[in-house]
Structure 1
Amino acid sequence: MSEYDIIVIGSGPGGYIAAIRARQLGFKTAIVEKEENLGGICLNWGCIPTKSLLGKSEIYRLIKESEKSGIKAKEVSFDIKLIVKYSRDAVGKLSGGVAYLMKKNDIKVYKGFGKLVGNNTIKVVGDKGEQEISSKHIILATGVRARNLPGIEVDGDLVWNAQHAMTPDKLPKSLLIIGSGAIGIEFASFYSTFGVDVTIIEKQETILPLEDEDISNLAQEIFTKQGIKIYTNNSVKAFIKNKDSIKVQLSSGESKEFDRVIVAVGVQANTENIGLENTKIKLNSSGFIETNEWYETNEPSVYAIGDVAGPPCLAHKASHEAVICVERIAGKNVHALKKECIPNCTYSHPQIASIGFTEKQAIKNGHDIKIGRFYSNFNGKSIVLDETEGLVKTVIDKKTGELLGAHMIGAEVTELISNFVLVKQLEGTNFDIKSTIFPHPTISEMIHESVLAADGESLNS
C-alpha cells in the first residue's frame, strides 16, 4: 500500500491547488481523479469553456453593432461548431497545463474513483482495477453537479444541463432557461447574442436573486431591451415533450412552446459513494459536508474544501480554501477565510460583479448606511466605448466609513471588482477610496465617483 502525507480527492480548482501547495510545503502528495482530464468541472465544463463561448459572442456583437460608429462589416456570420471547438481546445490546453503542474511538482495522480474506507485509507477504483492508498491527511474536493428538477428529465436532446448547453451542434430557434442565477444568465446572454429567441423563468421576485436589488432590476431592464423575455415569480407547472419541441405551462397560467430547455437551478454536492458512511463526517441540511473554519470535518485528519463544503460555489473560493487548509495542516499561522470578501461575477453582457452586503443585508445586520450610485452614462470611457448601460453602487457604514458592499453592472466590471476586493481585504474605508487617484479616462473612475456620491460629493453626475 502506498503511503502519503496528503491525498486529495478531486482535481478541480480546490483539489489541484491543495496538492500543489502541499508539495511546496514538503508533503508527499497524491491526487485522485475519476475523470480522464484534470481540472474539475470549472475548467472542463464550467468557468473556462463558458467564458470562451461568451468571448466569441462578444466579438460577434461588437461587429454587428460597429456600423453606427463608422466601422462597416459586410456579411458577418458565425459557425457554432467552430466556436464550440475553440472552447473545447482551450479546455484541453488548460487541462494539460494542470497535468504538467502535477508532474512538475512530483504529485502522484491516481485515475479512478476514490472512496474512504476508514483508517486514513482510500480505495481507488479505475481502469487498472482496485488499489488502496493511505495518508496522514485526506482532503475531499469532490465538487458539485447540476441539480435537476422533479418531473423535468435532462436528456441531452430536448432538455439540457449546462454541459449540453456548452456543446450544441446547432442553435435552436427558441430556448427556455429555467433559473436566473449566474449560469442561467450567462447562457441567456450567449444564445440571445447569436439570435436565439430566449425566455427566462425565475421563481424569485427578481432575476439574479443573490445580487443587490438595484443591480437585478437594472439587469432585467437591459436584458429585456435586448429581446430576452423574463418571467419572474414563475415556475413550470406542466412539461410536455413532443418530437422536436417542449410545451411548457407556467404557474402564471401561460402556455408556451420551445425548441430546447436549459435547466439551471443550482447544484448539489458530490457526496454519494465516497465512503462517508465509513467516517464520522456529517452533512448539513443542504447536503454539503460540515466543516469548521479550517475545513476539518468530524472525522480526524479528513478535510473538505471547495463546493462540496458549501456555497458560495466559486472556483476562486475553492482555491483560497485549499491554501488555508494545507497551511493549517502544516502548522502555519493562517487566517480564516472571510466570506464577505469573496467576489461574485457573472460574465453576461453587460457583466455583473459584487462583493459584501447588499443594501438590504446591511440594514438587516444593523448597520446605519449610506448609499452611493454612479451610472455609466456619466463616465467618459463608457461613453466612448458605447457601453453606457451600467451602475456602480456602494454600501458604506455611516459611522465608520467601512465599505460594507459594492455592486456593479456594466463593461468589464468582473475585472473592476478586484478594486473593491482589495479595499475590503485591507479593511479600507470610504476615505481611502476617495483619496485614491483613479486614471482618466477609465471605467474605474466610476468606483471613485460612486463613493463620492454616497456623501453627495460626486463630481461628474
Structure 2
Amino acid sequence: MPRVVILGGGPGGYEAALVAAQLGATVTVVDRDGIGGACVLTDCVPSKTMIATSVRTSYVRDAGQLGIDIGCTPEEAETGPRVRINAREVNERVKRLATAQSVDIADRLAAQGVEIIRGEGRLVEPHVVEVDGRRIHGDTVLIATGAHPRELPSAKPDGERILTWRQLYDLESLPEKLIVVGSGVTGAEFANAYQALGSEVTLVSSRDRVLPTQDADAAAVLEDVFRRRGMKVLGNSRAEAVERAGDGVVVRLADGSSIEGSHCLMTVGMIPNTADMGLEDAGVTVDSGGFIEVDRVSRTSAPGVYAAGDVTGVNMLASVAGMQGRIAMWHALGEAVTPLKLSTVAATVFTNPELASVGVTEADVTSGKVDARIAHLPLETNSRAKMHGTRDGFVKLFCRQHTGIVLGGVVVGPRASELITAVSVAVQQRLTVDDLAHTFVVYPSLSGSVTEAARRLMKATDD
C-alpha cells in the first residue's frame, strides 16, 4: 500500500489527502496551524465571512431605494439610515465560523482514515519528513505549506494599529479611519468591506488604478463605486513607511506627503512558507522569490516530491491549490490526469459588486494575441437587476472569431462569483456561443445576461 506524506493542511493538502485516501494510500498530514490552513482559519473563509456582513450592511443602507422605510430620521433621509456595527461580535462570528469549518474538514479527513500530526515538518531526504524528531517515510511527499503576508521593514505590523489582514479579527472596535496600502485583490476587498461597515477608508495604490491585474472596464466600475460611496482612492501613490503616532498611524508617501489615520492595513503581497524546510538539500528547486517550481501535474524537481497551493506561486487561489493537490495525487498514484490549465481557472474579487472572470482577457484580444469577438452587456439593462436596484456592472463575453467557441468572460455584479460558472463551463467544455444562446435560463434572472451576450455574438458570427 503506497504511503503519502503531506506537509500542510490547507486546500492543497487536505484535498490531496482525500484523493489519496480514496485511492487506497496510507496518508499522513503534517499541519502546523490547524486543518484548513490559513485559507480557512485566517484568510479566505474569515475575509469572505466579514465581507458577507458588509454586503448585508449595504443592503440595509440602500433599502430606501426599494421603498422600504426602516425608520430614517429626516437627517438620514439623504444618506440612508445609520447602521451600527458591533465589531467584536462580527469578529467573533468570523473566527467561530472559521474554526467550525476547520473542524468539519478535520473530521472528514479522520473519517477517511487520514492520520493528522500537529507540528512543523521538514524534508531531511526526498522521501523522509521529520516532525519533532520523528521521521516519516513517504513514497510520495506533497508540500503544501502555503504563504504568509509580506511585511515591509519600514511598516512592521504591530497587531494594534499597523496590521496584516490576519490581525484584523482581533480588533475590539471598527477602525475609525482605515488606510489600506495596496490596491490588489486583497486591498480592494477589505477597503470595500470596511467602508461599507462604516469606517472612513483611504485606499493607497502605487498604480494608476485599483485592481491593476483585472479587466480594465471592471476595475473602472469598481473604482467609481468606491469613490461614489465615499472612499478616498489615491492613485500613483507609493507608501514608503508607516509609523505609529499616538493612537493612530501616519503613512508617508514617496512624493513626500503623508496621510493620517487610526489604523493601517498592509496588503503588499505574499511570501511562500519554504524557509528552513530542507528543500534544496532534498533536490527541490525554488525560484528567486522562494516559490517551489512545479510542472502542470504538480511535480517538483525531486522525484516523488510534489507541491501545491500558494507555496508554488501558481495563481494563488484556494481552488487552484485544491486542484493542484488532487492532480498531484492522481498522477503519483497512477490515475489518468489532465494537467492544470490556467486558462480555465475562474477567479473572483469579492467586492460589492463582485468581479469574476475566466479565460482570455480583453487585453489579449486588443493586442492581437487572440483573434476573438467581444460582446459587452451592461447589467442595468437586465430586468432582474432593475428589480433589485442594481445599476453597476456588466457581462462581457469573448468568443473565437470564426468558430464562435467561448474563450472567456468577465462579470461585474451581485453574485458574479456564481454567474461566472456558466462561462467557466463553456470555456472548459469548448462550447460555442450558439450553445450558450440556445440554453434556457430563468426569466427574470441575472444569468439571462450571459445568454443574451452569447446571442449578440451568435448574430455577429453569422454576419
TM bin (shorter chain):
over 0.9
CA distance in 2, matches of 1:302, 1:42: 23
Which of 65, 73, 84 in structure 1 is aligned with 2:70? 73
Q: Please, what TM-score do these two structures have when normalized by structure 2?
A: 0.93
Which of 25, 28, 34 in structure 1 is aligned with 2:26? 28
Aligned positions of 1:300-449 closer than 5 A = 300-364=303-367, 366-449=369-452
CA distance in 2, matches of 1:396, 1:176: 40
CA distance in 2, matches of 1:370, 1:188: 34
The match for 1:205 is 208
1:450 deviation in Å? 2.3
Which of 75, 84, 91 in structure 2 is aligned with 1:84? 91
* Preserved contact between residue 344 and residue 355 of structure 1 (Cα < 8 Å): yes
Amino acid at match of 2:15: I
* Preserved contact between residue 160 and residue 171 of structure 2 (Cα < 8 Å): no
* Preserved contact between residue 402 and residue 428 of structure 1 (Cα < 8 Å): yes
CA distance in 2, matches of 1:238, 1:264: 13
User: In the TM superposition, what whole-angstrom CA distance separates every residue of 1:61-103 from its partner, at most 9, and x where no partner exists?
Assistant: 2122213323232474331111111111111111111111121
CA distance in 2, matches of 1:108, 1:166: 30
* Preserved contact between residue 372 and residue 455 of structure 1 (Cα < 8 Å): no
Q: Which sections of structure 1, spanning at least 5 residues, go unmatched?
A: none
* Preserved contact between residue 246 and residue 258 of structure 1 (Cα < 8 Å): yes
The match for 1:59 is 56
In structure 1, the residue corresponding to 2:357 is in which secondary structure?
A: strand
In structure 2, the residue corresponding to 1:372 is in which secondary structure?
A: strand
In structure 1, the residue corresponding to 2:212 is in which secondary structure?
A: coil
1:233 deviation in Å? 1.8
CA distance in 2, matches of 1:432, 1:232: 42
Which of 12, 18, 24 in structure 1 is aligned with 2:10? 12
* Preserved contact between residue 50 and residue 166 of structure 1 (Cα < 8 Å): no
In structure 2, the residue corresponding to 1:166 is in which secondary structure?
A: helix
User: In the TM superposition, what whole-angstrom CA distance separates every residue of 1:157-202 from its partner, at most 9, and x where no partner exists?
Assistant: 1110011123321112111111112211111111101211111111
Change (3 A) 1:329 1:446: same
Aligned positions of 1:63-212 closer than 5 A = 63-74=60-71, 76-118=83-125, 120-125=127-132, 130-212=133-215
CA distance in 2, matches of 1:456, 1:383: 26
* Preserved contact between residue 328 and residue 334 of structure 1 (Cα < 8 Å): yes
The match for 2:295 is 292
CA distance in 2, matches of 1:306, 1:246: 34
* Preserved contact between residue 155 and residue 242 of structure 2 (Cα < 8 Å): yes
Greater alpha carbon shift after TM alignment, 163-172 vs 251-260: 251-260
1:285 deviation in Å? 3.2
* Preserved contact between residue 4 and residue 30 of structure 1 (Cα < 8 Å): no
* Preserved contact between residue 30 and residue 120 of structure 2 (Cα < 8 Å): yes
* Preserved contact between residue 362 and residue 404 of structure 1 (Cα < 8 Å): no
Amino acid at match of 2:270: V
Aligned length: 451
Amino acid at match of 1:382: A
Aligned positions of 1:209-228 closer than 5 A = 209-228=212-231
Amino acid at match of 2:6: V
CA distance in 2, matches of 1:43, 1:238: 30
Which of 239, 264, 276 in structure 1 is aligned with 2:267? 264
Amino acid at match of 1:332: E
User: In the TM superposition, what whole-angstrom CA distance separates every residue of 1:293-325 from its partner, at most 9, and x where no partner exists?
Assistant: 211111111111111112211111111111111
* Preserved contact between residue 121 and residue 277 of structure 2 (Cα < 8 Å): yes
1:432 deviation in Å? 1.6
Amino acid at match of 2:67: G
CA distance in 2, matches of 1:76, 1:248: 29
Q: Which sections of structure 2, spanning at least 5 residues, go unmatched?
A: 72-81
1:236 deviation in Å? 1.2
Greater alpha carbon shift after TM alignment, 5-14 vs 68-77: 68-77
1:47 deviation in Å? 1.3
1:210 deviation in Å? 1.5
1:25 deviation in Å? 0.2
Q: Please, what TM-score do these two structures have when normalized by structure 1?
A: 0.94
CA distance in 1, matches of 2:165, 2:83: 27
Aligned identity (percent) is: 28
CA distance in 1, matches of 2:38, 2:371: 41
Greater alpha carbon shift after TM alignment, 325-334 vs 364-373: 364-373
CA distance in 2, matches of 1:119, 1:220: 48
In structure 1, the residue corresponding to 2:351 is in which secondary structure?
A: coil
1:454 deviation in Å? 4.0
1:139 deviation in Å? 0.4
Amino acid at match of 1:273: D
Which of 47, 59, 75 in structure 2 is aligned with 1:50? 47
RMSD: 1.8
Change (3 A) 1:237 1:115: closer
CA distance in 1, matches of 2:254, 2:439: 50
1:227 deviation in Å? 0.9
